[in-house]
Structures are given as C-alpha cells and as structure tokens.
Amino acid sequence: MSGSVQWTKDYAEDLDGRDPLRRYRMEFYLRPNTIYLDGNSLGLLSKRAEKSLLACLEDWKEWGIDGWTHGRHPWFYLSEQLGEKLALFIGAEPQEVILTGSTTVNLHQLVSTFYKPEGKRTKILADALTFPSDIYALQSQLSLRGLSLEEHLMQVQSRDGRMLAEDDLVAAMSEEVALIILPTVLYRSGQLLDIEKLTTEAHKRGILIGFDACHSVGAVAHEFSKWNVDFAFWCNYKYLNGGPGCVAGLYVNRKHLGNRPGLAGWFGSKKEKQFDMEFLFHPADSAGAYQIGTPHILSLAPLIGSLDMFMEAGIENIRKKSLQLTQYLMDLIHHELGEYSFTIGNPLEDHCRGGHVCLEHDEAVRITKALKVNRVIPDFRSPNIIRLAPVALYNSYSDIWQVVQILKTIMVEKQYEKFSKDRDVVA
C-alpha cells in the first residue's frame, strides 16, 4: 500500500468502498461517533454473538437441566463443536482443539502435562517480553516441583526491548531445556514470530514447544498441525469477540492425544463414560481430555455467533485486511506525525507483524487519555506504548484516516498536557 497511498479522506472512503469485508461492520455494536481500536484487548459485541447468547438463555429457561442434550445448542458437546469450527482458523484437525478454561488455567494444564524434567533436561525456556501471567504460571509450576526459579526458568532477553531475535531463541535451546513456551505475537510490539522455524529447531533438539496465541488467533492464520506445534493456548475475547471472560481455547497435536492430562477433571472424560461416576478416569481421545470442569456455557455462547461470522468471512480475508489497515495506519503516521517524536515500535514487514500497531511516545499515557476524550479508544502499555488495533471486521479505512487526524490535532494543540501522567487502573 505504501507505494500508492494517498493522504485524503476521499482516498480512505474509496478503500472502504472496495473493501469486501465492509458489510460486517454493521453487524457490530459501534458506539456513535467513537472509533474503537482496542480489539486486541477486548473485541466488540456483534449482533450474532448477542443472538447466540440469548438463545442459550432461552434454552436454559425452557429446558432447565435438559438443555445439556436439547435445545438450539445442546451444551454437552458445545465445547467440542466450537473447537471444530475454531480449528479452521489455526490450521488444526477438529480433535486437536477444545474450548475450555482460561488462558492461564490452560497453560497450567499444558505445563502440568508436558513438562517432565529428567536428567539434564530440567529447564523451561521462555522470553523476557512475554505476557507476565505466563511467567507467573511457569514460576508456580516450578515451585510446585520444588525447583529453583533462578536455575530452571530461562528467559531470553530482547536486544532492543521491543522484539525477539529468533536466532537468540534458537541458541538458547540447549540440552538442558525440557519445554519451551513462547508467544505467537508479542503483546507489546506486535512482533509475529516464525512459529514453524522455532518448532522445527526445538524438535531437532528433542524439545517440546508450545505457544501462547492470545494476540494472533482471529487475526493471523496459523498452520499448527502442519508445523507440528506440540500445543498452544489462547483467549477468545480479543480478535474473536467472545466477550469479557469468554472461555479460552487450547490445541494439542494429534501425536500427543490419548495421553493422560496433567490435571484431570470429569469433563475430560470420554463422553460415553462421563456419567458412569467411576473413580477410574477415562480421558477422551481428543483435546477434550484437557477439560477440567464443567464448561461455562453462558461464556461460550457468544462464540457460537461470532465463529459463524468468522467462518463466513474467512481468516485469509481477515488477515489480508488486517495487514492493509495496519500498513495504512503506519503510512499515515509517517506522513502526518513525523515532527511529533512518535516511533513505530512494531515490525514493518507483513510477515513479522501481528494485528496491532505499537506507537511509542514519551507522553503516551497522556496522549492515550486525550484520545479517549476525543472518542478514540486505544490501549496503553507502560511506560510509553499506545497500542492501536484496527480490526478487520468492524474498523474501516476512514476510521484510520480520522484517528491520525485526531492524533495530529492533539499534538498540535498539546491537548495531552491537560492530563496527569498516572495511568488508569485498567490500562
């Protein structure tokens, strides 16, 4: 887009007119005169998600406990059915995906299953830029085994504080490493790692590898099965618009299916055995074995409508528009805001970039507050990052053009100086 981009509102409107996904914008509840660019933290509610949630409430109202096997969306197999749909977006087989738990609970489950320190191989390899909750979970898992955090948790450092050098990650894959946990997309800078390369290099060294895909599922097309990724986990409330606290998801490669999960629970049983009420656990032959407790049906329900929309739109089309939106945003920032000390902290290349733009500025926290007053909803990450995440299904090119004009006005008029430098409780 950079070579042919124009800087006028008419150009943005022309792009909107030729956008094959433009009709989906009307499917979402958009606040009047507000531009929402925080879809990488919490996606907006769609009318289809609302409809499927209300349908599940009606089933509860009408059927009571029989809603597990009757109604519009019987609950007993709902996690598996939605996992089958979501498998299309991550390049997995249906039996390899289940919707269950939360991101960190699923990480605990997967580490409990796949981390088997033995002999020299006792260390977990992670990185220094990952989301802190993942590190808390890894620290907890080591502590439960009585292992020293300093000795057994390795975090590969970033060379520039923004991104990870994949060569550094590979170099750290020593014979002492038993398990690797990395993000698909870094939550701050938006860097998309080469998942296939890292998986191949880990397996060459006999190491299992899993990925936190919270900042990529729904925005980036993956091929987890083809790449032979051992496992992955993610939330569904960001790009997939499943709602606050929505049930999360996990993927386990078919070669590992049939093994007993580290944390057993009754919903991980084979369906035909679950209600036998035996004290002998019979794990499912699918990723369903990694469920622990009863599915949170009302937190799953919005995904019924949302995933139908994603299947209709196609993840390849969504990824294409996402890249075009972020490229257009970066082009406009370079053109319009060059004199205001902004730095783009995310990768510029399409194959290295996730779904958001990382905009750095010393006054980021105050600029974020000024944006909100101007009815633009961004995301702030301490100490100096404004994350702007244009979402393919509900953001337009006109949104992007207008946001940059608002940013320019904020800087020209120094509107940010009216605000304190203290971040909000929820940033």
341-382 pLDDT per residue, tens: 999 999 999 999 999 999 999 999 999 999 999 999 999 999
Quote the DSSP letter at residue 222.
Answer: -
Tell me the binding residues: 103-104, 131-134, 212, 215, 237, 266, 294
Q: Please answer whether residues 263 and 292 qualify as being in contact, where contact means their C-beta atoms are separated by less than 8 angstroms.
A: yes
What CATH number matches the domain at 51-312, 3.30.470.20, 3.30.565.10, 3.40.640.10, 3.30.43.10?
Answer: 3.40.640.10
Q: Please answer whether residues 176 and 119 qualify as being in contact, where contact means their C-beta atoms are separated by less than 8 angstroms.
A: no
User: Domain spans of the chain?
Assistant: 9-30+314-418, 51-312
Q: What are 297-343's pLDDT values in tens digits?
A: 999 999 999 999 999 999 999 999 999 999 999 999 999 999 999 99
Q: Residue 89 has what pLDDT?
A: 96
Q: Which of 199, 220, 201, 197 is nearest to 211 (CA)?
A: 199
Beta pairing partners, 377: 36
> Domain 9-30+314-418, what architecture?
Alpha-Beta Complex (3.90)
Instruction: Taking residues 135-144, report their average pLDDT.
Output: 98
Q: How far is CA 230 from CA 59, 211, 339, in A?
A: 37, 9, 46
Alpha-carbon span 254 to 206, nearest angstrom = 18
Q: Which residues contact 70 (CB under 8 A, 6 or more apart)?
A: 59, 63
Q: Residue 85 has what pLDDT?
A: 98
Q: Residue 3 has what pLDDT?
A: 56
Q: Residue 2 has what pLDDT?
A: 54
Q: Which of 133, 130, 127 is nearest to 153 (CA)?
A: 127
Q: Which of 132, 222, 207 is nearest to 173 (CA)?
A: 207
User: What percent of the chain is predicted at pLDDT more than 70?
Assistant: 98
Alpha-carbon span 382 to 360, nearest angstrom = 10
Alpha-carbon span 209 to 229, nearest angstrom = 7
Tell me the binding residues for pyridoxal 5'-phosphate: 103-104, 131-134, 212, 215, 237, 266, 294
